[in-house]
Structure 1
Amino acid sequence: MKKRLLSFWEIWNMSFGFLGIQFGFALQGGFMSRIFQDLGASKDDIPLLWIAAPLTGLIVQPIIGYLSDRTWHPKLGRRRPYFLIGAILSSLALFFVPHSSALWMAAGFLWIMDASINISMEPFRALVADKLDDSQRSYGFVVQTLIIGIGTWVASNLPWMVSKLGVVDNPVPGEVSNSVKVAFAIGAFVFLISILYTIFTTSEYPPEDMEAFLKEKKEKKNTFVSDMIENVGKMPITMKKLGLIQFFSWFAFFTMWSLANPALTEFTFKAPVPLESAYNMNIEAQKVAFEAAGASSQEASNKVGSYMGVYGLSSMAFALLLTLYTSKRRINRKYVHMTSLILGGVGFISMYFIPSPEWLILSFSLIGIAWGSILSMPYAMLSSSVDPKRMGVFMGLFNMFIVLPQIIAALGGINLAYKLIGNETINAMIVAGISLVIAGLCNFLITEKKAIMYQE
């Protein structure tokens, strides 16, 4: 079916819910490690505590993709019911996670939060492919990336913003910072409102033959597991090649989310989280020194979060340029993605060599170009290579190539890799950079013309 070409604002409305989703992911990516450290986790334990995020994605996204392909609600359509369920659960989890009183509680909330965000996120990818003609796919995913960039930048700066507005961070051992608590509460509100905006402003195409759709749904005897096995077997070769690119890309970004805060507060800002065991709290001078070191570390963490927000701002600017270009012209998705990933790799590696913290703006700006491309080009290439009737399930299965590298990283891959270079945590950023460069070069494997550039 030849689909009607949509206007910019129609595409904006259908993608706006991603603002809230990215608020959730940016707060999680920028500040969960800080929450873990506030609650007493060592930096080497942090990647393993993060394992909830990729594991829930591995389980939830294929299931939601499969179910949404087989769903049709008279009022909410195919994908929007899952937006709504995920939004409600995610908002509750976002609000409560920084109020955790113990490390196990924070890790548990991370499981709930990430599962809930994934319930909303997976159908958004499929919605773009559902609604847009193939000629607008690159444009649609780029607009989505533009909104993601806005969300990343604002959410990453929230703790810094609220601290500037007068919220005081008292460095109390075993307690999460006040600025983080307020930021997560704001994120919960934005998540719910932005998803509701998309639900109320966007319609969906019903199945072309509703009777046949309902009959197939009723008569189909295959189970979810057998369907998944069948779909994995029918995975297009382009999807497998994109999977290799995704593997190295997401290994790099998981490394950043889990270890950038300890790496940069220690190496760049010279303000690591103080260990209470290193101070004699019975001596007033030692107690004062501990509190001063804690305050300095909290301030450094706010600044790291703010600098990390630059990659959202950069991805937004990159996406805006691509939006203006792809609204009228075609692009070579393969070479855009390759160049972007290599630039991001240079950004990560540069963190080791910058002379002062201000240079992190440049590092994260380059990383933002890679991030903007990761959120658009692989999905545009994939959507041109799979059966439209199985768009949801293939988008869900594609998530395997995102979560598997993160699971490997969380189970010790990051710690093993960066310690081959040296014991300083900043070496993890070098590993992330090398991984992105490898991902960029893997684009040479993509050869299908329709995936590389839309063909009439």
Structure 2
Amino acid sequence: MEKPRQSLAGLWNISFGFFGIQIGFALQNANMSRIFQSLGEDIEKLPGLWVAAPLTGLLVQPVIGHMSDRTWLGRLGRRRPYFLGGAILAAVALFVMPESPAVWFAAVMLWLLDASLNISMEPFRAFVGDMLRKDQHSAGYAVQTAFIGAGAVVGSLFPALMEAMGVANVAPPGQIPDTVRYAFWFGGVALFLAVLWTVVSTSEYSPEQMTAFEAARAEAAAPAQRALASRDYGASLAWIASGILVAFVQMRFSLLREILLLGALLAAYGLASMIAIALARRGNTANMLSSIVGDFAGMPPLMKRLALVQFFSWSALFIMWINTTPIVTQYHFHATDPASSAYQDGANWVGELFAIYNGVAAVAALTLLPWLAARIGAALTHIVALICGAAGYASFLVLRDPALLVLSEIFIGIFWASVLAMPYAILASSLPQAKLGIYMGLFNVFIVVPQLLVATVMGQLMKAFFPGEPIWTMAFAAATLLLAAAAMARVVPLVAASKPAS
């Protein structure tokens, strides 16, 4: 039994909620460094404050993926309860964020905002796979990417639009400009309404229908956690030892305290895997911990190779989101004081640059990338896009006219479109439907972990080698994208092998 083919209106409704979610992410990405600096924080400490975002994603996404695979709440269905709950919490965070009285409060709100956005976002990735036939996966993720780009354009441009309408773009020291405050309030309303549209305009297939659609694949997908019982504790102990070593190095060399968090997470995963193995040996494989750990260890080979590509790709993206505002304001607008009009003008220009790369992504997802993929394949297309991204980042080191940074953003936009569409299009058709949520959640771990590393390590590297010179982070980002392109070359033969013989 095959799923019915979705119309263009169906594709629109399935992914329209992502338009609102991405408005929230765009406001966060373009303005959180600005908010932290406006509240008095130093540049070198920005990565540590951003640690809340990847940490919440790391914890939330696999759990939400596992739970959404097993949820059915009557008319709300399987994924939509998480869309709606996350949207409500995210809207609250967006309304409260610009009223932050201090840096610590803004960091807490960032934690809440990112957790809420992840609660909504993670099931949306699986939702495309739930609702679409295999031959529509590429189209579905392309439409989703277009909405991501469009939402990010709106979220990124709103502070500049507010200034053009006469809203104050400068605030006294320790306060957040009205342009940012109004943008966050608008974003909260837009996010909620967009997600609500998807919730009320779609109807999910029942568990019985999903079983009929995917019976053959479900039988082939034996629970990976059953294999846990045959594993020893060696790998778990190695994770714990790695965490202890990281903590020792941090204390021995007086590194930034955020690095202790990295050590704690390594040790925590080792301990969690030991518990999961022990439960599996006792015959208890139905619990969430064993399911997540077992599926993580049992990822398909294609997914493992794509995960490495994601790791490098999202390292570069997180570097950009954290550092673009300090870079542009310092090197292109020659301002480092957040209370100055030049700094706030530069920060608004960053919002416009982010809107440009997202607008390019929205167009490229529906035009350039499908055209290129039809000729050279999705895997090679992604390699081309990764190299475009590396060129875009590297150009920040040589361009000093703010207007010329538009060229940089065009290359970054092509890369961004591909990273949101191609890995998921390649992966979705090879995953068992019954585990689509958990596998998408685990795949997103390789989006979150590099962000966490950047948030904990990049500040230390800047302090040690480039104090007060954030421009060099763009060189580091360009290099990581070249590594991503090399890793993607290892995916090409697996994609070719997975195609049916003609």
Is the TM-score greater than 0.5? yes
Which amino acid in 2 is paired with 1:371?
Answer: W
- Give the number of the structure whose residues are more often helix, by fraction: 2
**CA shift for structure 1 position 448:** 2.1
User: Is structure 2 residue 100 aligned with structure 1 residue 100?
Assistant: yes
Q: Matches of 1:325 and 1:350 in 2, distance apart?
A: 26
2:443 is the alignment partner of 1:443: no
State the shift of 1:145 in Å.
0.3
Secondary structure of 1:375's counterpart equals helix
> Quick one: structure 1 residues 408 and 174, their matched pair in 2 at CA, closer, same or farther if it must change by over 3 Å?
same
- The residue that corresponds to 2:77 in the other structure is 77
1:312-327 paired onto structure 2 within 5 Å = 312-321=358-367, 325=371
1:233 is displaced (CA, Å) by 2.3
Are the counterparts in 2 of residues 47 and 410 from structure 1 also a CA contact under 8 Å? yes
Alpha carbon RMSD of aligned pairs, Å? 2.5
Which of 311, 316, 335 is the aligned partner of 2:357?
A: 311
Provide closer, same or farther for how the CA distance between residues 211 and 8 of structure 1 changes in structure 2, counting only shifts above 3 A.
Answer: closer
Q: Distance in 1 between matches of 2:500 and 2:41?
A: 48
Structure 1 residue matching 2:330: 3-state secondary structure: helix
Q: What is the correspondence of 1:342-421 to structure 2 with a 5 Å cutoff?
A: 342-413=387-458, 415-416=460-461, 420=465
What is the distance in 2 between the residues matched to 1:145 and 1:455? 30
Q: Mind listing any 5+ residue stretches in structure 2 that lack a counterpart?
A: 216-283
Comparing 36-45 and 71-80, the one that deviates more: 71-80
CA contact (8 A) 1:255 1:414 kept: no
1:253 aligns with 2:317: yes
C-alpha deviation, 1:210, in angstroms:
8.4
Distance 1:300 1:421, change over 3 A: closer
Pick which of 107-116 and 436-445 moved more.
436-445
Query: 2: distance between equivalents of 1:48 and 1:451?
Result: 42
What's the counterpart of residue 287 of structure 1? none
Q: Distance in 1 between matches of 2:413 and 2:463?
A: 22
Q: Does 1:228 align with 2:292?
A: yes
Asked if structure 1 preserves the Cα contact closer than 8 Å seen for 2:16 and 2:195, the reply is: yes
TM-score by length of 2: 0.82
Deviation at 1:453, TM superposition (A): 6.1
Distance 1:181 1:255 in 2: 24
1:314 alignment partner, SS class: helix
The CA deviation at 1:451 is 8.4
Aligned with 1:203: secondary structure?
Answer: coil
In the alignment, is the contact (CA less than 8 A) between 1:171 and 1:298 conserved in 2? no
Whole-angstrom distance in 1 between the partners of 2:310 and 2:317: 11
Structure 2 partner of 1:242: 306
Greater shift after overlay, 6-15 or 330-339? Answer: 330-339
What's 2:16 paired with? 16
Q: Percent identity?
A: 44
Of 470, 474, 488, 1:425 maps to: 470
Q: Counterpart of 1:283?
A: none
Corresponding residue pairs, total: 434
- Quick one: which amino acid aligns to residue 301 of structure 1? A
Which amino acid is 1:245 matched to? V
| 1:277 paired residue number | none
Cα displacement string for residues 189-229 of structure 1 (whole angstroms, at most 9, x for unaligned residues) = 1000000111111111112368999xxxxxx9621101112
Q: Which amino acid aligns with 2:411?
A: L
Q: For 1:258, what is the secondary structure of its paired residue?
A: helix
Match of 1:284 in 2: none
User: In structure 2, what residue type is equivalent to 1:337?
Assistant: H
For 1:267 and 1:404, the matched residues in 2 are separated by 29
Q: 1:199 to 1:412 in 2, by over 3 A?
A: same
1:286 equivalent in structure 2: none
TM-score (norm 1): 0.90
Q: Which residue of 2 aligns with 1:217?
A: none
Moved more, 404-413 or 446-455: 446-455
Gaps of 5+ in 1: 214-219, 275-290
- Matched with 2:342 is 296
